[in-house]
Chains A and B, each alone.
Chain A
Amino acid sequence: MSAGARPKATVLVIDDEQIVHESVRRILEEEGYRVEGAFRVEKALHLLSEGSFDLVLTDLMMPDRSGMDAVEAVARDHPDTGVVVFTGFATVNSAVQSLKLGALDYLPKPFTPQELLDVMERALEKTRKARRDKEIAKTYADAELAIRSSLDIQEILKLICDSVVRLFKAKGASILVLRKSDGVLEAVTSVGLSDEYLQKGVLDSRKSVAKGLVSKKPILVEEADFNTNLHYPEAARKEGIAAILSVPLQLGDAMLGFLRIYSGAKCSFDEEDMELLTRFADQGARALENAMSYEEVRKNIEGLKKAIPGPIARKMEE
């Protein structure tokens, strides 16, 4: 591995034999992994509690404790780390037990460098996927709670935009509210977009997102379709936008507007993302509805106060 380059992943190898450490280290380091080693399970558990590893590769038969203890400890205490077993005494029982306890794979020794690399690659992929899913679930839960706990319309709008940008690592987001009188979509909040782009011109809902208004489903417009599907394709390109996803915001059957997510890279919203977004938009719309009810009563109070002639108001306060 060239000095200073970012390692592909960090691996902790647990084995009681020096020669195994050497060969595994050579194979993995050549592929860009950073490798640390431990000769005892006890030592490995200590290293695990101090540092952060992407993967653990453990032998089973070792003098102090069984590698199975390491498998169990990693699965229980380090859920963000993946664990793979490799052993010179492969048995059906230990294979089944390892996988039941949470090992991602089980590799009998001896193995070829390519076999080891394949196993590590697949394990790394699974670990990263699990980590990302967890991160999304957490960000989503936090965002949802924050949105639901506010009764301030502006704050909710801002929170929705900030949250989707964070959730999807997007370039920006905006909320467009549908003006009933003339069908124009008005941007009421945005993050990550330039003023120039926001003020590009009037958005007529009958053209730009007409499909979404009817189907009430998210619409994805990618760069290749900008010319046919966007009002201002050049402005979007200049802004560095590669794809725009519009998710309808609705209350019951009434259409409130759209939540838009702007992606800088060629886009990849999969089905799960779409579902998450739809759910999020739904929660956001409910929070907005509550905030609007609250605001309305507040306005009524203000209205009443204004309607009361000055002298009467002063007398009433006495």
Chain B
Amino acid sequence: MDKKKGKILVLDDEQIVLDSVSRILESENYEVKGCRRGEDAIETLREGGFDLLITDLKMPGMNGLEAMAALLEVDPDLSVIMLTAYATVDSAVQAMKMGAVDYCRKPFTPDQLTEIVEGAMNDRRARFEKRYREDTFAEIKKAISSTLNLKEVLDLIVQGVVKVMKVKGSTLSLLDKNRAKLRVFAHYGLSREYVDKGPLETSRSISDMTLNGKPVWIEDASTDPRVQYPAEAMREGIASILSVPLLVRNKVIGALRVYTSQPRIFTEDENEFLYGFAEQVAFAIENARSYEDVKDEYETLRDDLWDYFDKEGWA
């Protein structure tokens, strides 16, 4: 069988419940481990890799709430579902306040169980993706703020955004001096041919919106009239484009774009992340540019001086 959907620990003092829960979830392609005592569950959990705990409430010895507390101590990220034939308001409130994601009554149908588990797995995935984004973002920020080399800064940004948002590719464009055209300065995950397709006129297309400081979301690049090069986008296998402005002190300096290969709607979290990312990196670009400017000034001055000495024959 192919990759398992998740690893689940089931704790119930009745073998028959363990068997039926295991059968239902295994047929849904989950890996299931069953335990009849809280102490055994703690041992099993130490194996690692578990996503979910499904626990009974009333058990001899350690009850479900106690077991839940002990297991969360071992793995604070474990998602917990409580299943019980003795549902009470009190234990439901207690379990939920301790961090259970759900609390359900026994008996249940296979469909009900599957639905509860899928719901918990989805929440879990969203939570982990968010954490992954935040952690990776912190790393990228650190790397970006450790250099003043413009090329390096821009490359780190486009690579970082592709990694964090799990998209096909990304480009970073900066405005030219008279603020008429956006030119791509860095790209990742896209062919050179696509990147070099031509300048993006600011009077047209997505750029117009971007330059007004607004994000642009294109769900279907092949039909959207705002796309300047739809044929090229199709050839490249681009489905959706999201473009956000790079702003420094409320002034647009360029745009950061992400390209997906599947039509995709970004979640609010993802959008928020991209705006935050753009805000943070814009300053790094500005700093690197200031540094390059002052270095250029220095080098020009040095060369001029050199030329002068040459001409006068003092060298």
State whether these chains interact: yes
A residues near B, CB below 8 A? 90-92, 95-96, 99-100, 104-106, 108, 145, 148-149, 151, 282-283, 286-287, 289-290, 293-294, 297-298, 300-301, 304-305, 308, 312, 315-316
Q: Are A92 and B308 in contact (CB under 8 A)?
A: no
| Docked pose: A308 CA to B302 CA in angstroms | 10
B267 to chain A, nearest CB (A): 15
| Given A294-B291, A304-B302, A149:B286 Cβ within 8 A | yes
Closest 3 CB pairs of A and B: A149-B283, A99-B96, A92-B87
| Docked pose: A305 CA to B298 CA in angstroms | 10
A-contacting residues, B243-299, CB 8 Å: 248, 279-280, 283-284, 286-287, 290-291, 294-295, 297-298
Contacts of B148 in A (CB 8 A): 290, 293-294
Contacts of A104 in B (CB 8 A): 97
Interface size of B by Cβ–Cβ distance < 8 Å? 33
Contacts of A305 in B (CB 8 A): 301
Q: Are A106 and B89 in contact (CB under 8 A)?
A: yes
**B89 touches which one: A90, A293, A301, A304 (CB < 8 A)?**
A90
Chain B: which residue is nearest A106 at the CB level? B93
Interface of A is mostly: helix
**B92 within 8 A of partner (CB):** yes
B residues near A, CB below 8 A? 87-89, 92-93, 96-97, 101-103, 105, 142, 145-146, 148, 248, 279-280, 283-284, 286-287, 290-291, 294-295, 297-298, 301-302, 304-305, 308
B209 to chain A, nearest CB (A): 24
**A99 touches which one: B97, B280, B286, B305 (CB < 8 A)?**
B97
Interface of B is mostly: helix
Q: Are A145 and B89 in contact (CB under 8 A)?
A: no
| Docked pose: A301 CA to B101 CA in angstroms | 63
Contacts of A316 in B (CB 8 A): 304-305, 308
Contacts of B304 in A (CB 8 A): 316
Contacts of A286 in B (CB 8 A): 142, 145-146
| Docked pose: A29 CA to B142 CA in angstroms | 50
Chain B: which residue is nearest A304 at the CB level? B301
B31 to chain A, nearest CB (A): 26
Q: Are B297 and A301 in contact (CB under 8 A)?
A: yes
| Docked pose: A110 CA to B105 CA in angstroms | 25
Q: Are A92 and B92 in contact (CB under 8 A)?
A: yes
| Docked pose: A220 CA to B116 CA in angstroms | 48
Q: Are A304 and B298 in contact (CB under 8 A)?
A: yes
A114 to chain B, nearest CB (A): 17
Q: Are A297 and B291 in contact (CB under 8 A)?
A: yes
Contacts of B103 in A (CB 8 A): 92, 96
| Docked pose: A312 CA to B306 CA in angstroms | 12
| Given A286-B146, A297-B298, A300-B298, A151:B308 Cβ within 8 A | no
| Docked pose: A144 CA to B160 CA in angstroms | 19
Contacts of B290 in A (CB 8 A): 151, 294
Pairs A–B under 8 Å by Cβ, sample size 6: A92-B103, A104-B97, A105-B97, A282-B142, A294-B294, A304-B305
| Given A100-B96, A297-B291, A316-B305, A287:B145 Cβ within 8 A | yes
